[in-house]
Chains A and B, each alone.
Chain A
Amino acid sequence: MKKRVLALGTAACLVIGALSGCAFTGGTGGTTAGESSQSAGASESVSDKTTAPAAGDQVLSVYANAEIKTLVQWAASDSQSSMVNNNAFEGLLRLDEKNEAQPALAKSYDVSDDKLTYTFHLRDGLQWSDGTPLTASDFVFSWLKQMSADATNGYSFIMTDYIVNGTEYNEGKVSAEEVGVKAVDDKTFQVTIKAPTPYFARLTVLCQFFPLNEAYVTSKGDQYGLSADNMIYCGPYTITSYDPAVGATLKKNDKYWDAANVKIENAQVRVMKDASAALNAYLANELSQVALDSSNVAAYQNNPEFKSESEFRTEYLQFSLSNPVMKNKNIRKAVSAAIDRDTLAKVILADGSSSSNGLVAEGMYGDGSKTFRELNGNLCPFNAEEAKKYWEEGCKELGETPKLTLLVRDDSVTKAVATYIQSELNKNLGIDITIDTKTVQARNELMDNDNYMFASTAWGADYDDAMTYLDLWTNGTPYRGSYQNENYNKLINDARVETDDAKRLDMLLQAEKLLVDEDVIVAPLYHRGSATLTKSNVKGLVNHPFGPDVEFKYAYFE
Chain B
Amino acid sequence: MIKYICKRLIYLVLTLWVIVTATFFLMKKLPGSPFDAERFNMMSAQQQHVILEQYGLNESLPKQYVKYMGNILHGDFGTSFTYTGQKVSTVIGGRIGPSALIGIQAVLIGLALGLVLGIIAAWKHNSGIDYFTMIVAVLGVSVPNFVAAALLQYYVALKWGILPVGFWTDWRCSVLPSVALSFSATAMVARFIRTEMLEVLEQDYIITAKAKGLSPMKVLMRHAVRNSIIPVVTILGPIVVNLLTGSLAVENIYTIPGIGSLFVDSIKANDYSTIMGITIFYSAFYIFVVLIVDIAYSLIDPRIRLAAGKEA
Chain A CB within 8 A of B268 CB: yes
**Closest beta carbon of chain A to B262's beta carbon, Å:** 7
Cα distance, A447 to B40, chains bound together (Å): 13
Chain B CB within 8 A of A125 CB: no
Q: Which residue of A lies closest to B237 (CB)?
A: A15
Interface residues in A381-406 by Cβ distance below 8 A to B read none
Q: How many residues of B contact A (CB 8 A)?
A: 82
Whether A26 and B157, one on each chain, are in contact in the complex, defined by CB atoms closer than 8 angstroms, is no
Interface centre among B38, B49, B93 (most CB of A within 10 A): B38
Pick from A153, A222, A438: contact of B39, CB below 8 A.
Answer: A153
Pick from A30, A149, A438, A445: contact of B50, CB below 8 A.
Answer: A149
**Closest beta carbon of chain A to B219's beta carbon, Å:** 15
Q: Which residue of B lies closest to A173 (CB)?
A: B46
Given known contacts A25-B97, A33-B168, A245-B262, A156 and B43 CB-to-CB distance under 8 angstroms: yes
Pick from A4, A23, A29: contact of B93, CB below 8 A.
Answer: A29
Complex interface bits, A11-51 against B, C-beta within 8 A gives 1, otherwise 0: 10011001100110111111111111100000000000110
Chain A CB within 8 A of B226 CB: yes
Whether B31 and A442, one on each chain, are in contact in the complex, defined by CB atoms closer than 8 angstroms, is yes
Point out the residues of chain A lying under 8 angstroms from B302, CB to CB.
Answer: 3-4, 7
Chain A CB within 8 A of B276 CB: no
Whether A26 and B300, one on each chain, are in contact in the complex, defined by CB atoms closer than 8 angstroms, is no
Pick from B85, B268, B289, B299: contact of A222, CB below 8 A.
Answer: B85
Interface residues in B52-108 by Cβ distance below 8 A to A read 82-86, 89-91, 93-104, 107-108
Complex interface bits, A224-259 against B, C-beta within 8 A gives 1, otherwise 0: 011000000000000000011110000000000000
Cα distance, A446 to B37, chains bound together (Å): 11
Whether A154 and B38, one on each chain, are in contact in the complex, defined by CB atoms closer than 8 angstroms, is yes
Interface hit among A272-280, A331-339, A485-493: A272-280
Whether A50 and B107, one on each chain, are in contact in the complex, defined by CB atoms closer than 8 angstroms, is no
Complex interface bits, B217-250 against A, C-beta within 8 A gives 1, otherwise 0: 0000000001001000100100010001000000
Whether A14 and B252, one on each chain, are in contact in the complex, defined by CB atoms closer than 8 angstroms, is no
**Closest beta carbon of chain A to B231's beta carbon, Å:** 13
**Closest beta carbon of chain B to A457's beta carbon, Å:** 9
Point out the residues of chain A lying under 8 angstroms from B262, CB to CB.
Answer: 245
Q: Which residue of A lies closest to B257 (CB)?
A: A245
Interface hit among A67-75, A98-106, A351-359: A67-75
Pick from B45, B89, B169: contact of A52, CB below 8 A.
Answer: B169
Pick from B85, B165, B244, B300: contact of A284, CB below 8 A.
Answer: B165
Interface residues in B136-152 by Cβ distance below 8 A to A read 150
Cα distance, A75 to B81, chains bound together (Å): 11
Cα distance, A171 to B269, chains bound together (Å): 29
Interface centre among A29, A50, A155, A479 (most CB of B within 10 A): A29
Chain A CB within 8 A of B170 CB: yes
Chain B CB within 8 A of A501 CB: no
Whether B39 and A77, one on each chain, are in contact in the complex, defined by CB atoms closer than 8 angstroms, is yes
Whether B98 and A37, one on each chain, are in contact in the complex, defined by CB atoms closer than 8 angstroms, is no
Cα distance, A394 to B93, chains bound together (Å): 58
Whether B84 and A29, one on each chain, are in contact in the complex, defined by CB atoms closer than 8 angstroms, is no
Whether B268 and A441, one on each chain, are in contact in the complex, defined by CB atoms closer than 8 angstroms, is yes
Pick from B84, B161, B254: contact of A70, CB below 8 A.
Answer: B84
Whether A19 and B84, one on each chain, are in contact in the complex, defined by CB atoms closer than 8 angstroms, is no
Whether B104 and A152, one on each chain, are in contact in the complex, defined by CB atoms closer than 8 angstroms, is no
**Closest beta carbon of chain B to A536's beta carbon, Å:** 19
Q: Which residue of B lies closest to A27 (CB)?
A: B101
Point out the residues of chain A lying under 8 angstroms from B102, CB to CB.
Answer: 26
Chain A CB within 8 A of B174 CB: yes
Given known contacts A273-B252, A280-B157, A280-B158, A77 and B36 CB-to-CB distance under 8 angstroms: yes
Cα distance, A190 to B126, chains bound together (Å): 87
Whether A69 and B97, one on each chain, are in contact in the complex, defined by CB atoms closer than 8 angstroms, is no
Chain A CB within 8 A of B281 CB: no
Whether B47 and A151, one on each chain, are in contact in the complex, defined by CB atoms closer than 8 angstroms, is yes
Q: Which residue of B lies closest to A48 (CB)?
A: B169
Whether B98 and A445, one on each chain, are in contact in the complex, defined by CB atoms closer than 8 angstroms, is no
Whether B97 and A30, one on each chain, are in contact in the complex, defined by CB atoms closer than 8 angstroms, is yes
Pick from B40, B50, B296: contact of A15, CB below 8 A.
Answer: B296
Point out the residues of chain A lying under 8 angstroms from B233, CB to CB.
Answer: 11, 15
Whether A246 and B168, one on each chain, are in contact in the complex, defined by CB atoms closer than 8 angstroms, is yes
Whether B84 and A154, one on each chain, are in contact in the complex, defined by CB atoms closer than 8 angstroms, is no
Given known contacts A155-B42, A441-B31, A30 and B84 CB-to-CB distance under 8 angstroms: no
Whether A14 and B295, one on each chain, are in contact in the complex, defined by CB atoms closer than 8 angstroms, is yes
Chain A CB within 8 A of B216 CB: no
Interface residues in A60-90 by Cβ distance below 8 A to B read 67, 69-70, 72, 75-77
Point out the residues of chain A lying under 8 angstroms from B195, CB to CB.
Answer: none
Complex interface bits, A467-508 against B, C-beta within 8 A gives 1, otherwise 0: 000000000010100000000000000000000000000000
Point out the residues of chain A lying under 8 angstroms from B168, CB to CB.
Answer: 30-31, 33, 49, 246
Point out the residues of chain A lying under 8 angstroms from B45, CB to CB.
Answer: 171
Chain A CB within 8 A of B307 CB: no
Q: Which residue of A lies closest to B153 (CB)?
A: A280
Chain A CB within 8 A of B292 CB: yes
Chain A CB within 8 A of B215 CB: no
Q: Which residue of A lies closest to B146 (CB)?
A: A274
Pick from B36, B43, B167, B169: contact of A50, CB below 8 A.
Answer: B169
Whether A29 and B97, one on each chain, are in contact in the complex, defined by CB atoms closer than 8 angstroms, is yes
Whether B94 and A245, one on each chain, are in contact in the complex, defined by CB atoms closer than 8 angstroms, is yes
Q: Which residue of B lies closest to A444 (CB)?
A: B37
Cα distance, A239 to B90, chains bound together (Å): 20
Chain B CB within 8 A of A512 CB: no
Interface residues in B273-304 by Cβ distance below 8 A to A read 289, 292, 295-297, 299-302
Whether B300 and A23, one on each chain, are in contact in the complex, defined by CB atoms closer than 8 angstroms, is no
Whether A441 and B269, one on each chain, are in contact in the complex, defined by CB atoms closer than 8 angstroms, is yes
Point out the residues of chain B lying under 8 angstroms from A121, CB to CB.
Answer: none
Whether A30 and B255, one on each chain, are in contact in the complex, defined by CB atoms closer than 8 angstroms, is no
Interface centre among A35, A172, A284, A443 (most CB of B within 10 A): A284
Chain B CB within 8 A of A283 CB: yes
Point out the residues of chain B lying under 8 angstroms from A35, CB to CB.
Answer: 93-94, 97
Whether B252 and A280, one on each chain, are in contact in the complex, defined by CB atoms closer than 8 angstroms, is no
**Closest beta carbon of chain A to B102's beta carbon, Å:** 8
Cα distance, A4 to B303, chains bound together (Å): 11
Whether A34 and B90, one on each chain, are in contact in the complex, defined by CB atoms closer than 8 angstroms, is yes
Whether B157 and A156, one on each chain, are in contact in the complex, defined by CB atoms closer than 8 angstroms, is no
Pick from B47, B229, B297: contact of A170, CB below 8 A.
Answer: B47
Whether A23 and B44, one on each chain, are in contact in the complex, defined by CB atoms closer than 8 angstroms, is no
Q: List 24 A-B contacts (CB under 8 A).
A: A7-B300, A8-B226, A22-B104, A29-B100, A33-B168, A35-B94, A49-B168, A70-B83, A70-B86, A149-B47, A152-B51, A154-B42, A156-B47, A157-B42, A160-B44, A171-B46, A245-B261, A280-B158, A284-B164, A441-B30, A444-B37, A445-B31, A445-B33, A477-B41
Task: Name 17 extra pairs, CB < 8 A, besides A31-B169, A153-B39, A284-B161.
Answer: A3-B302, A7-B299, A11-B299, A19-B107, A26-B96, A26-B102, A30-B174, A33-B168, A54-B164, A150-B50, A160-B44, A244-B86, A245-B261, A274-B255, A280-B157, A286-B164, A448-B41
